[in-house]
Structure 1
C-alpha cells in the first residue's frame, strides 16, 4: 500500500479552488513585479545609486551584480521558511513572505541617491536586496505547493499554470508601468524620481496579496496531516536525510528552467539595448509583446499537460533550447525588427512550455510532509547558482567574447546539462500528490 493510500480522498468546491489559485497567483505576481521592476529600471538604478554610475565603465554590470546578490541568500530563505511551512502551515509563511517582499521593494523606492549619502546608498540597496532574496526563498515553493494541494488531480496542470500566469503578469505589469512612465515623463524626471514610482506601488500591491491570502484556510493536504498528527517535527532533517534524491532532480530541472527565465525575461531588455542599440522604450515594448503572447498561451499549455502529460512538454522545451537558442540569438543580433520579433517568438514559445508545466511538476516530487521545504531548498539552490547570476554572466560573456549570440550558447549548455533530470522525472499528470489522497472537485447537487 502506498503512502498516499493512507489518506482518504478529499473533495473541494470549485469556487474554493479558484480563490486559492487567485490568492497564490496574486502573491506570485507581486513577487515578480518586484523583481521585474529592478531589471527594467536598472539603468536608472545605476545612475542614481551606484558609484560611477554615470560612466561607461560602470555600466549596468554593477547594478546587475547587486541584482544577483539577492540570490545568494535565497537558499537560506528556502532552508528556513520552507520547512517552517511544512511545520506550521503554508498559509502563515506565505503571508510573511509577501509582506516582507513588498515592504523591501517599497523601501528601495525611498532610497537616497549616491550623490546624497555616498557609499551608504549601494549598501542599503544591497541590504534590501538580501531581505528580498530571503523572503523570496519561501515564496515560490509555498505558492506552488498551495495551488497543487488545492487542485484536483485531473486538472492540476491547468490550475497550477495560473501561478506562472501571475509570474508573467508581474513582469507585464512592471514592464508596462516603466514603459508608461518613460513615455509620459521627460528623461530628467525619469532619472530623478520616475524610476521610484513602481517600487512605491509594490507596497499597496503586497497588502492586496496579503488580504487575499488571509481569507483562505490552509490546504486540505496539510490539514489532513495535522488531523492525523503526522506533521513532521523536524521537516528539514527529514527532507535532507530521506528525500535528497528528489531534491537533486528538482535542482536539475530548475537549472535550465531558471537560466531560460532569467535570460529571456530579466536580461533581455539590457541585451536589446546594449547589442542592438534599441532605446529603452522600444526594447521594453518588444519584451512586453513577447510576455503578452506567453500569457495567452500559458493556460492552454497547462491544460494540455493534464491530457498528454508534463514530461513530453518539458522534454520538448529542453531539446528545443539545445537546438534553437543560438539561432534565436543570431536573429536578435541582426538588429532588424523581423529578426528581433522572430528571436523573441522562438524563445518565448520554448519558455512557455516550461512555465505551463513546472509549477505542477515540481511539487509532485515530494511527499506532503516535506513538500514546502524540499521544493524550496532544491528550487532556490538551483536558482541561486544558475538563475540570479545569469544576467551578470551573460553581460560578461557578450563583453568578453565579442559574440552577441553567446547567450544562446549559455542557454543551450544549461539545457543539455538538465536533460538527464528531465529524463529521470516521473510523469505525475492525473495522479495524486505523494503523501496525499486523491483530490477531487465536489460535484454540484441539484
Structure 2
C-alpha cells in the first residue's frame, strides 16, 4: 500500500507557521523549550551515566583476573551496544510519530529509558550470579538504546515545529544543549559519588545510587512531558489529511536520499566529538596519563558546561548567519582546540595545566548545535521524524558504536588516537558544510 503522501508539498509547514514566522518567542515557546530540554537532560543522563562508571562496572560484571585492557574493551563494548540498537527503536518510534503524533512518542521514549536504568541499579554482579550478570547488563543497554533512538530526533522535530521559523536554530541548539546537560548531570553525579564514598564503598553499593536516581529522574521527565502540546505542524498535517497512511520510510528512501546522506555524515561528526571528547576522555586520561579520577571528572564537568553554552550559541548564530557557516568555522576551531588540549596532557599533569584548554575545547564542541537545523531542513514535515530518525540512528549505530572500540584499540598503538580521529571528522564536517549548497526544505 502506498502512503497518501508520496512527496509532501513544501508549503505544509508554511501554512502551519507563516502567520507566526516573524513573531518573537512567547511564553508558550519558552515553556515548550524548557520542558523539552529538561526532559532530554534527564533521559540523556540515564543513557550516559554508564560511561562514568565503566571501571567499576568492569570490575563487578566481568571475571576477575582478565587483563585490564580486555576488561575495558568489554565494558565499552556493552556501552556501544546501546548505540547499535538505536535504529530499531528510533525507526519504530519515528514511524508512529509521523503517523500518530510527535508528542505521544516524545513521552513514551522517557518511560522506556527510565525502567532499564532503574534495573541496572539493582542488578546482581558477577560474583553473585556469574556470567548471567554481564548478559543482564547487556539486555538493559539494549533497552536503553532502543529508547534513546527515538528521543533525540523526536526532540529536534518537536521543538522545531513549535517555534517561529526564524528561531528554529535557537530552539534546536537549546534542545541539544539540554541533551548535553544530561552528560553534565551524569558527570556531576559521578564526581559527587567519588567524593562522598571511598573505593570500597563504591564497589560495594554506591555505584548503584546514580542508576537508581536515573530511574526516578525518568519518571519525573515523563510526567513533565504530559504538559506539552502537539506541534502546530503535525496538527496542520492532520487537518489537511496529509499525514502518511503507512511506511513513511519508503518515501524517505525513494525521494530523500540526499537528505539521508547529509544527515548521516553530520551524525558521524556529532557522535565522534561527543563520545571521544566528553564521554571517553575521563577514562582515557585516567588510563593513558594516570590522572586522578576526581580531576578528570571535574574537568569533564567544566567542559560540558562550556559545551552546553556552545550549543545554544551555535543555534543562535545559525539563525543569523546560517548553520553551514557555523558548522564549518566551529569544526576548524574544534580541531585546533582539541589538539592544543591533548598536547597539555602528560603523566601527573595538574588540573590547572589542562582545564583551560579542555574548557575551550568543550565550547568548540558546541558547534554541533548547528547540526539539527541542517537535518530538520533536509526533510519535509510529513516524513521529517522518520527521515531524521533513520539517518541519525543508523549513523550513530555504526559510528557511535564503533568509536569507543576503535579508540580503545588504537590507543594501544598511539596515545594520539583520539586527536587523529576527531581531526579527521572535523575535516569531514567542513566538507559536508561546503558541499551542501542549500537546504532542501527551508520551511523549517
Whether the 8 Å contact between 2:124 and 2:133 is mirrored in structure 1 is yes
Aligned to 1:262: 275
Please report how far the alpha carbon of residue 88 of structure 1 lies from its aligned counterpart in structure 2 after TM superposition: 0.8
Secondary structure at 2:244 match in 1? coil
Question: How many positions carry a matched residue from both structures?
Answer: 430
Aligned to 1:106: 118
Change in Cα spacing, 1:180 to 1:395, as seen in structure 2 (3 Å) is same
Aligned to 2:216: 204
Task: Name the stretch that deviates more: 193-202 or 206-215.
Answer: 206-215
| Superposition pairs of residues 206-221 of structure 1, within 5 angstroms | 206-221=218-233
Secondary structure at 1:81 match in 2? helix
1:423 matched to 2:434 = yes
Whether the 8 Å contact between 1:64 and 1:392 is mirrored in structure 2 is yes
1:285 to 279, 294, 298: 298
1:7 to 12, 15, 25: 15
Whether the 8 Å contact between 2:327 and 2:429 is mirrored in structure 1 is no
TM-score, with structure 2 as normaliser: 0.91
Whether the 8 Å contact between 1:10 and 1:220 is mirrored in structure 2 is no
1:51 matched to 2:58 = no
Whether the 8 Å contact between 1:36 and 1:175 is mirrored in structure 2 is no
Secondary structure at 1:376 match in 2? helix
TM-score, with structure 1 as normaliser: 0.90
Please report how far the alpha carbon of residue 53 of structure 1 lies from its aligned counterpart in structure 2 after TM superposition: 6.9
Change in Cα spacing, 1:408 to 1:429, as seen in structure 2 (3 Å) is same
Aligned to 1:437: none
Deviation digits for residues 50-91 of structure 1, max 9, x if unmatched? 223775353322111110111111112222221221111111
Please report how far the alpha carbon of residue 137 of structure 1 lies from its aligned counterpart in structure 2 after TM superposition: 1.1
Please report how far the alpha carbon of residue 123 of structure 1 lies from its aligned counterpart in structure 2 after TM superposition: 0.2
Task: Name the stretch that deviates more: 157-166 or 215-224.
Answer: 157-166
Deviation digits for residues 132-158 of structure 1, max 9, x if unmatched? 111111110000000000111111222
Whether the 8 Å contact between 1:330 and 1:405 is mirrored in structure 2 is no
Query: Aligned equivalents of 2:9 and 2:139: distance in 1?
Result: 46
Deviation digits for residues 268-291 of structure 1, max 9, x if unmatched? 111110111112111101111111
| Superposition pairs of residues 17-416 of structure 1, within 5 angstroms | 17-52=29-64, 55-234=67-246, 235-322=248-335, 325-333=338-346, 336-337=349-350, 338-354=352-368, 356-399=369-412, 401=413, 403-416=414-427
- Contiguous gaps of at least 5 residues in structure 1: 434-446
Whether the 8 Å contact between 1:258 and 1:387 is mirrored in structure 2 is yes
- Contiguous gaps of at least 5 residues in structure 2: 1-7
Secondary structure at 2:344 match in 1? helix
Task: Name the stretch that deviates more: 371-380 or 212-221.
Answer: 212-221
Query: Aligned equivalents of 2:233 and 2:251: distance in 1?
Result: 18
